[in-house]
Amino acid sequence: MVSDSMLDSLSRSFASYVNHSFISGSLRQYPSLEQYYIPSKQERKRFGFCTANHRMTVSSTDNSVDTKSALSGLAPLEAVLFDVDGTLCDSDPLHYYAFREMLQEINFNDGVPITEEFFIQNIAGKHNEDIAVLLFPNDIPRGLKFTEDKEAMFRRLASEQLKAINGLYKLKKWIEDRGLKRAAVTNAPRPNAELMISLLGLSEFFHAVILGDDCEHAKPHPEPYLKALEVLKVSKEHTFICEDSVSGIKAGVAAGMPVVGLTTRNPEHVLMEAKPTFLIKDYDDPKLWVALEELDKKEAAEKPAA
Predicted structure pTM score: 0.76
How far apart CA 194 and CA 184 sit, in angstroms, is 10
Name which of 233-242, 264-273, 275-284 the model is least confident about.
264-273
The confidence score (pLDDT) of residue 238 equals 98
The CATH number for 212's domain is 3.40.50.1000
In a domain, 12, yes or no: no
The tally of domains found in the chain comes to 2
- Give dist(CA 16, CA 55) in Å, integer: 22
On whether both 197 and 288 belong to a single domain, the answer is yes
In a domain, 4, yes or no: no
Say if residue 18's pLDDT is above 80: no
Hey, which residues are catalytic here? 83, 85
Judge if 84 and 100 occupy the same domain: no
Give the pLDDT score at 6: 55
| Residue 243 located in a structural domain | yes
**Alpha helices by DSSP H, the chain:** 4-17, 41-47, 92-105, 116-122, 128-135, 140-161, 168-177, 190-199, 223-232, 246-254, 268-272, 286-302
Residue 148 lies in a domain: yes
**Residue 19 is assigned to a structural domain of this protein:** no
Q: Which residue segment(s) compose the domain that 144 sits in? A: 92-161
What's the confidence (pLDDT) of residue 202? 98
CA–CA dist 239, 77 (Å, integer)? 6
Using CB atoms within 10 Å of the CB of residue 219, give its burial: 0 to 12 exposed, 13 to 18 middle, 19+ buried: buried
Alpha carbon separation from 148 to 105, 118, 240 (Å, rounded) = 15, 20, 32
Higher pLDDT, 214 or 304: 214
Is a pLDDT exceeding 60 seen at residue 232? Answer: yes
Could you tell me if 283 and 63 are in contact, meaning their C-beta atoms sit under 8 angstroms apart? no
pLDDT recorded at residue 124: 87
Q: Which of 161, 188, 218 is the last residue of a domain?
A: 161
Residues 143, 221 within the same domain: no
Residue 38 pLDDT exceeds 90: no
Q: How far is CA 290 from the centre of its chain?
A: 23
How far is the CA of 39 from the CAs of 43, 94, 117, in angstroms? 6, 19, 10
pLDDT of residue 303: 83
Task: Tell me whether residue 221 is in a domain.
Answer: yes
More confident residue, 183 or 15: 183
Q: Is residue 96 part of a domain?
A: yes
Q: What is the pLDDT of residues 82-117, one digit of tens each?
A: 999 999 999 999 999 999 999 999 999 999 999 999
Q: Residue 58: what pLDDT?
A: 34
The DSSP call for residue 80 is E
Contact 197, 88 (CB under 8 A): yes
Average pLDDT over residues 21-33: 32
Geometric angle at alpha carbon 191, from 93 and 127, rounded to 5°? 60
CB 88 within 8 A of CB 168: yes
The answer on 82 and 223 residing in a single domain is: yes
Model confidence at 19: pLDDT above 50 = no
Smallest CA-to-CA distance from 211 within 189, 236, 232 is with 189
At 169-199, the pLDDT tens digits run: 999 999 999 999 999 999 999 999 999 999 9
Residue 141 confidence (pLDDT) above 90: yes
Q: What is the per-residue pLDDT for 5?
A: 56
Cβ proximity of 201 and 233 under 8 Å: no
CA distance 277 to 257: 9
Both 272 and 246 in a single domain?
Answer: yes
Rounded average pLDDT over 62-67: 60
As a whole-number percent, the residues of the chain with pLDDT over 90 amount to: 72
Residues 77 and 220 in one domain: yes
How many Cα atoms within 13 Å fall on the side-chain side of residue 190? 5
> 228 near 248, Cβ under 8 Å?
no
Mean pLDDT score across all residues of the chain: 84
Is the domain of 295 the same as that of 192? yes
Region of poorest pLDDT, from 43-47, 180-184, 240-244, 299-303: 43-47
The confidence score (pLDDT) of residue 61 equals 52
Residue 208 lies in a domain: yes
Percent of the chain with pLDDT over 70: 78
Q: Are residues 122 and 213 in the same domain?
A: no
Q: Residue 1 pLDDT more than 70? A: no
